[in-house]
Amino acid sequence: MSHLVAPSILSANFANLEADIELINKSAGDWFHVDVMDGVFVPNISFGFPVIKAIKKYAKKPLDVHLMIVDPDRYTQAFKDAGADILSVHIEACNHLHRSVQNIKNCGMKAGVAINPHTSIHQLVDIIADLDLVNVMSVNPGFGGQKFILNTYEKVKALKALIVEKNSKALIEIDGGVDLNNCRQLLDCGADVLVAGNTVFGSDNPTETISLLKK
């Protein structure tokens, strides 16, 4: 399978979201990456259901919703109703991760688990076979435009080995600081999905940048 690119809405123009949604619709991008922050799990607040519903109305590609919130189980059905196709929860925010993952699947979504830069991939050993996606955070979550953490390369290699060992179908998604310089090495290490916010929307030609990330 060739890799996927998921432009992050967090870096889009919120005063004219429809234009940036259309841009992604017409681009080589595969998914919309949608970051939800609660100001508790991370030191920032982004947006919630009304905005996701508005994105869903215009988006012609799947919504990959990344929850950076505490106690995400309370809202699983609500995110499905808002339009999420893939829903990722943070391992650090879930006391009963297996239940959280089953709830996501039972609601009809693909299930992802996100891990912070300090969290070992070994914590995924007993859940990896149940997952559709692992979001490997390559910055500390909370903000777009941060510097890529170099330890991510080794982490992705180890995660890829675990996925093969456990015969899991989980895709490896890289989230944070992905750019045109590190994308090749990330793919070589085993990455399947590249999230990009600032690299896409901070560039002069976002459509072209998405194409370059796709190549």
Report the catalytic residues.
35, 175
Q: Using CA atoms, how far apart are residues 51 and 73, in angstroms rounded to an integer?
A: 20
* Contact flags string 143-182 toward Zn ion, x per CB under 5 A: --------------------------------x-------
Q: Which residue has the tokens 């969290």?
A: 119
| 180 in Cβ contact with 200 (< 8 Å) | no
Count residues binding Zn ion (CB under 5 A).
3
3-state secondary structure of 45: strand
**Position among 91, 198, 209, 210 found at the interface with ligand DX5 (CB under 6 A):** 198
Rounded to the nearest whole angstrom, what is the least distance from the CB of residue 123 to ligand DX5 in the complex?
19
Q: Which residue has the tokens 């940036």?
A: 20
Q: Which is nearer to Zn ion, 130 or 175 (CB)?
A: 175
Backbone angles phi, psi at 114, to 5 degrees: -100, 140
Rounded to the nearest whole angstrom, what is the least distance from the CB of residue 60 to ligand DX5 in the complex?
20
Rounded to the nearest whole angstrom, what is the least distance from the CB of residue 7 to ligand DX5 in the complex?
9
User: Residue 5 binds what, of Zn ion, ligand DX5, none (CB under 5 to 8 Å, by partner type)?
Assistant: none
Site for ligand DX5 in 26-85 (CB under 6 A): 33, 35, 66
| 27 in Cβ contact with 7 (< 8 Å) | yes
* The pair of three-digit structure tokens given for residue 148, joined into one six-digit string: 């890529």
